[in-house]
Amino acid sequence: MKVIVSRKAQFNAAHRLYNPDWSFEKNDEVFGKCNNPNYHGHNYQLVVSVKGTIDPETGYVIDIKDLKSLIKEHVEDAFDHRNLNLDTEEFKKLNPTAENIAVVIWNKLRPHVKPSLELKVQLHETERNFVEFEG
């Protein structure tokens, strides 16, 4: 009998969508205004979920204070108030679409969550657009 525990967080970042192997025209056609060379930005809203059994001693699947700290250390401290393309290693060569950001966050968190716990990441790029990844 497993329970999912979720924690919401947020980070504010600049980014630009483009493929360096393409011409500016091709990038413009595919990514439109998201290809602005001067960047634009978002309030990224993040939901990190872990699924596992309840520890009978604590009543917790995971101490949500620990989950909050993991998100702060591995996601917020790395991405908040950053330019994803310029300031992070992960997106130097990877297009920072919502899909890719979610996968990167999942990969950053996975080693720090016990193997017995399943992990899911939901990332809202705007009020109307969001993505999910569970490995």
- Site for its own copies, rule CB under 8 A: 1-10, 12-15, 17, 19, 30, 32-34, 36, 38-43, 45, 54, 57-61, 63-65, 80-83, 86-87, 94-100, 102-103, 126-133, 135
What minimum distance in Å lies between the beta carbon of 112 and its own copies?
Answer: 19
Active-site residue list: 34, 81, 125
* CA atoms of 52 and 133, how far apart (whole Å): 17
* CA atoms of 125 and 12, how far apart (whole Å): 10
* CA atoms of 35 and 54, how far apart (whole Å): 46
* CA atoms of 19 and 85, how far apart (whole Å): 12
What minimum distance in Å lies between the beta carbon of 44 and its own copies?
Answer: 9
* 52 vs 74 by CB, closer to its own copies: 52
* 4 vs 73 by CB, closer to its own copies: 4
* 19 vs 73 by CB, closer to its own copies: 19
What minimum distance in Å lies between the beta carbon of 74 and its own copies?
Answer: 17
CA atoms lying within 13 Å on the CB side of residue 3: 11
Q: What is the DSSP pairing of strand 118-124 with strand 40-53?
A: antiparallel
∠ CA 109-131-73, nearest 5°, is 25
